[in-house]
Amino acid sequence: MPASQFPRRSFLANSARFILGSSTLAPLTSNFAQTFQPDHEVAVTDMEVIVVNVTQRTKWIFVLLTASNGVTGLGEASLGRRSELNELNTFFRLVEGQSPFDINQYRTRGWPRASAGNRAVATAFSAIEHALWDIVGKTLSVPVYQLFGGKLRDSLPVYANINRATSNRTPEGFAEKARQAVADGFKAIKAAPFDGFPPLTASPNEISEARQLGVDCVFAIREAIGDDIAIKIDAHSFFDVELSISVAEQLLPANLSWYEEPIAPTQTTDTKRIHDSISQTMAGGEFLFGVEGFAPLCEQKAVDIIMPDIKHCGGLLEAVRIAAVADANGVKVSPHNPSGPVSTAASVALCAALPNFVILEYQWGEQSWRSKLVVPDEIIVNGTININDSPGFGIDLSEQVLAEHRS
């Protein structure tokens, strides 16, 4: 639905409780008390957990919440090979019988536990939060991005993460997959050619061989796709400070678009040392939780780009707060998203409204049926995805495709 066709009077009356970035949701209109009547009769009633078999190393876990008005909302809790996430039941109990509009109430009650736990706990919390936003948007007949202040763009650039699609972990294997992604129209690709790197306690020869293999893969990618395609390299925190700097110097001729997480981003001081010692753009933060996890990186300018993952960081509202802290410190945002189509749709809604957004990750090449799993199809053309203007996240699951691949 075009923005000009939004039912603005109804929207303003009903969405006036939403203004993001504060601990309580404040009114958007001066006559809020008179115009908005909280719809307390609408409550979350049911949760269905849907598991989709993707590959041997990937399963997608989707959450479908149903409200008493019949509206449903989707969230994603995918976590590698995991086929269940019992923590979802804990957080569902916090929203069962409650208004889907009371997202701050859910955050206040659930986030202390989620942020104090492990990644599985934070992921479960986040998935239910996604689904609440989807219900709210559908109930108000507006896209979720409108609840974050409206969209700043009509489409988003996306890059192809070729890592999971690359089973042949040689320079030739990476080069071939990179060529295929570029043939599909992508203008930027990402790979993790240092996966399998030995422990830093291994022999110097082992480390040297693994390092050279990864470097050779990067240069093979560059040779295969030419100079006009951006290359992003994820080191998956296999290095120490000295090795991080040395590898970055060795990769200078490859002209990387960014150098991602050579060490764990929780090592803020050392990450800052690397950042200040190399010339490449640095990115990181894919598994950090909440503002408290990202603030040190942003405030110390230890990276140029943060990568909150809406599946793990605390959900959409937390991602907006994280992005605001980054923006205040001159740091850009590129959400981590090696995920299924539900997380992608939710991430698109988020990125539509972020002023410091750069580019969105897309998990390329895992399954040919991926784009058909949602209705309407997930479409990426020439490395861009359009902002969905339909209510909520604008998607539903395809019952036919789901039946073929559901666990």
* pLDDT value for 40: 60
Separation between Cα atoms, residue 190 and residue 256, nearest integer Å: 10
| Range scoring the smallest mean pLDDT among 31-40, 147-156, 330-339 | 31-40
| pLDDT above 80: residue 151 | yes
* pLDDT value for 234: 99
Separation between Cα atoms, residue 353 and residue 146, nearest integer Å: 8
* pLDDT value for 382: 98
**Which two structure tokens, joined as six digits, stand for 77?**
């809790």
* pLDDT value for 89: 98
Residues 88-112, mean pLDDT to the nearest whole number: 98
Separation between Cα atoms, residue 354 and residue 260, nearest integer Å: 21
* pLDDT value for 9: 41
Q: What does each C-alpha distance from 177 to 154, 163, 236, 328 come to in angstroms?
A: 29, 9, 20, 38
* pLDDT value for 147: 98
**Which two structure tokens, joined as six digits, stand for 50?**
């849907």
| pLDDT above 70: residue 32 | no
What domains, with CATH codes, occur in the chain?
3-145 (3.30.390.10), 155-394 (3.20.20.120)
Q: What is the pLDDT of residues 336-357, one digit of tens each?
A: 999 999 999 999 999 999 999 9
| pLDDT above 80: residue 198 | yes
| pLDDT above 80: residue 34 | no
Show the DSSP H helices in 31-160 as ranges.
Answer: 32-35, 87-95, 103-116, 119-140, 144-147
**pTM attached to this predicted model:** 0.91
Other CB atoms within a 10 A radius of the CB of residue 44 amount to 25
* pLDDT value for 365: 97
Q: Nearest 5°: CA angle at 344, between 398 and 78?
A: 80
| pLDDT above 60: residue 37 | no
* pLDDT value for 41: 87
Residue, of 136 and 12, whose pLDDT is higher: 136
* pLDDT value for 93: 98
**Mean pLDDT, the chain, as a whole number?**
92
